[in-house]
Structure 1
Amino acid sequence: MRYTSVRLLSDIRVFAAPCCRCTFTTSTAQPVEAVQSTSGKSILEIPGPDGIYNLPYFGFRLHFKPFSNYDMTLMNEKFEAWKNQYGPIVRVKLGKAWAVYLFDPDDIEKVFRSDNKYPERPTLPLITIYDKRQKNAPSLASSLGEDWYAMRAPTQRTMLRPKAVTKYAPKISKIADDFVDSLKNSDRLENLPFKLMEYSAEGVGMLCFNTRLGCITSDNTITPLMSYTQQYLFYAGNSVYKVIPTYMMYKNSYYKKFEEAADFLHNEADSHINKAMADLKHASDNGIELESNLLFDLLSTPGLTPELVRRTMTDVFIGGIDSTANTMTFMLFNLAKNPEKQERLFQELKEHVPMKGEIQEDTINKMPYLKACLRESFRLVFPISGGTVRILDKDIMLKGYNIPKKTPIQLCSGIIGRDEQYFPQQDQFIPERWLRGNNRTDVNPFAHLPFGFGPRKCIGQRFAEQEIYICASKLLRSYRVVLPPGMTDVPFYYCVFATPKEPVSFLLEKRQQ
Structure 2
Amino acid sequence: MQQFTLTLPSPIVCSPYQNSMSLLTSLSWLSFPSILLLLPLMFLTTLIIFKKSRSSLNLPPGPPPLPIIGNMHQLGVVSHNSLLSLFKTYGPLLHLQLGSVPTLVVSSAELAKEVMKYQDLNFCSRPPFMSQKRLSYNFQDIAFVPYGEYWREMRKISIVELFSTKRIQSFGFIREEEVSQMIALISDSCSSSKPINLSDLLLTLTSNIICRAAFGKCYIGGAEKSDFHRISLETQALFVAFFVGDFIPWLGWIDTLTGQRARLEKNFFELDAFYDQVIDEHMDPERPKSEHEDFVDVMIKVQKDLNLTRDHIKGVLMNILVAGTDTGSATVVWAMTELIRNPRVMKKAQDEVRSVVGSKNKVEESDLSQLHYLKLVVKETFRLHCPAPLLVPRETIRHCTINGYDILPKTLVFVNAMAIGRDPEYWKDPDEFVPERFIDSEVDYRGTHFQLIPFGAGRRICPGMSFGTMTVELTMANLVYHFNWEFPSGVNKENIDMSEAPGITVHKKSDLLLVATKTSSSDVQRQE
Is TM-score (shorter-chain normalized) higher than 0.5?
yes
Secondary structure in 1 aligned to 2:297?
A: helix
Report the counterpart of residue 74 of structure 2 in structure 1: 63
Distance apart, 1:379 and its partner CA = 1.8
**What are the within-5 Å matches in structure 2 for residues 351-370 of structure 1?**
351-353=355-357, 360-370=364-374
Report the counterpart of residue 340 of structure 1 in structure 2: 344
**What are the within-5 Å matches in structure 2 for residues 418-497 of structure 1?**
418-436=422-440, 445-484=449-488, 485-486=490-491, 487-497=495-505
Secondary structure in 2 aligned to 1:488?
A: coil
What code does the residue aligned with 1:138 have? Q
CA gap of 1:444–1:159, structure 2 versus 1, over 3 A, is closer
The answer to whether structure 1 residue 200 and structure 2 residue 206 are counterparts is yes
8 A Cα contact 1:48 1:91, kept in partner: yes
Deviation per residue, 1:163-203 (Å, 9 max, x gap):
32122223211110001111223245544533211101110
Task: Output the CA distance in 1 between the equivalents of 2:443 and 2:393.
Answer: 33
What code does the residue aligned with 1:48 have? G
**What are the within-5 Å matches in structure 2 for residues 251-262 of structure 1?**
253-262=259-268
Task: Output the CA distance in 2 between the equivalents of 1:374 and 1:457.
Answer: 19
Deviation per residue, 1:444-463 (Å, 9 max, x gap):
81011111112211122111
8 A Cα contact 1:189 1:508, kept in partner: yes
CA gap of 1:462–1:438, structure 2 versus 1, over 3 A, is closer
8 A Cα contact 2:93 2:104, kept in partner: yes
Report the counterpart of residue 126 of structure 1 in structure 2: 131
Secondary structure in 2 aligned to 1:58?
A: coil
Report the counterpart of residue 15 of structure 2 in structure 1: none
Report the counterpart of residue 178 of structure 2 in structure 1: 175
Q: 2:169 aligns with which of 166, 169, 176?
A: 166
8 A Cα contact 2:68 2:100, kept in partner: yes
Report the counterpart of residue 97 of structure 2 in structure 1: 93
Distance apart, 1:428 and its partner CA = 0.6
8 A Cα contact 2:197 2:514, kept in partner: no
Q: 1:399 aligns with which of 392, 400, 403?
A: 403
Deviation per residue, 1:99-139 (Å, 9 max, x gap):
2222221221121122239921225422424567xxx7733
CA gap of 1:234–1:390, structure 2 versus 1, over 3 A, is closer
CA gap of 1:98–1:227, structure 2 versus 1, over 3 A, is closer
The answer to which structure has the higher helix fraction is 2
Task: Output the CA distance in 2 between the equivalents of 1:149 and 1:439.
Answer: 28
Task: Output the CA distance in 1 between the equivalents of 2:320 and 2:443.
Answer: 38
- Is 317-326 or 260-269 further displaced after alignment? 260-269
Task: Output the CA distance in 2 between the equivalents of 1:466 and 1:63.
Answer: 38
Q: 1:277 aligns with which of 253, 269, 283?
A: 283
Deviation per residue, 1:359-383 (Å, 9 max, x gap):
5554322222222212211222222
Deviation per residue, 1:62-97 (Å, 9 max, x gap):
324xxxxxxx22222222222221223222223334
The answer to whether structure 1 residue 511 and structure 2 residue 519 are counterparts is yes
Secondary structure in 2 aligned to 1:116?
A: helix
**What are the within-5 Å matches in structure 2 for residues 179-328 of structure 1?**
179-186=182-189, 187-188=193-194, 190-214=196-220, 223-239=226-242, 249-250=255-256, 253-278=259-284, 290-301=291-302, 302-303=305-306, 304-328=308-332
What code does the residue aligned with 1:472 have? M
Report the counterpart of residue 12 of structure 2 in structure 1: none
Task: Output the CA distance in 2 between the equivalents of 1:358 and 1:295.
Answer: 30
What code does the residue aligned with 1:47 have? P
CA gap of 1:255–1:197, structure 2 versus 1, over 3 A, is farther
8 A Cα contact 1:138 1:311, kept in partner: yes
- Unaligned residue ranges in structure 2 (runs of 5+): 1-48, 522-528
What code does the residue aligned with 1:208 have? A
Secondary structure in 1 aligned to 2:220?
A: coil
Deviation per residue, 1:263-304 (Å, 9 max, x gap):
34433333332222235x989xxxx89544433222212223
Task: Output the CA distance in 2 between the equivalents of 1:259 and 1:164.
Answer: 34
- Is 351-360 or 376-385 further displaced after alignment? 351-360
Secondary structure in 1 aligned to 2:517?
A: strand
Q: 2:116 aligns with which of 109, 112, 118?
A: 112
Task: Output the CA distance in 1 between the equivalents of 2:373 and 2:421.
Answer: 19
8 A Cα contact 2:365 2:474, kept in partner: no
Larger radius of gyration: 2
Task: Output the CA distance in 1 between the equivalents of 2:458 and 2:352.
Answer: 32
CA gap of 1:352–1:214, structure 2 versus 1, over 3 A, is farther
8 A Cα contact 1:60 1:94, kept in partner: yes
Task: Output the CA distance in 2 between the equivalents of 1:379 and 1:269.
Answer: 35
8 A Cα contact 2:256 2:262, kept in partner: no
Task: Output the CA distance in 2 between the equivalents of 1:314 and 1:253.
Answer: 23
Secondary structure in 2 aligned to 1:490?
A: coil
Report the counterpart of residue 141 of structure 2 in structure 1: 139
Task: Output the CA distance in 2 between the equivalents of 1:271 and 1:354.
Answer: 44
- Is 329-338 or 372-381 further displaced after alignment? 372-381
Task: Output the CA distance in 1 between the equivalents of 2:253 and 2:504.
Answer: 19
8 A Cα contact 1:492 1:500, kept in partner: yes
Distance apart, 1:413 and its partner CA = 2.0
CA gap of 1:137–1:424, structure 2 versus 1, over 3 A, is closer
Percent sequence identity is 19
Distance apart, 1:439 and its partner CA = 13
Report the counterpart of residue 414 of structure 1 in structure 2: 418
Distance apart, 1:33 and its partner CA = 4.8
How large is the RMSD of aligned CA atoms in angstroms? 3.6
Task: Output the CA distance in 2 between the equivalents of 1:268 and 1:438.
Answer: 44
What code does the residue aligned with 2:141 have? S
Report the counterpart of residue 43 of structure 1 in structure 2: 58
**What are the within-5 Å matches in structure 2 for residues 11-26 of structure 1?**
none
What code does the residue aligned with 2:58 have? I
TM-score by length of 1: 0.78
- Is 136-145 or 371-380 further displaced after alignment? 136-145
CA gap of 1:94–1:230, structure 2 versus 1, over 3 A, is closer
CA gap of 1:212–1:459, structure 2 versus 1, over 3 A, is same
Task: Output the CA distance in 1 between the equivalents of 2:313 and 2:81.
Answer: 39
Task: Output the CA distance in 1 between the equivalents of 2:391 and 2:144.
Answer: 19
Deviation per residue, 1:413-458 (Å, 9 max, x gap):
2112111111111111001112336999xx9810111111122111
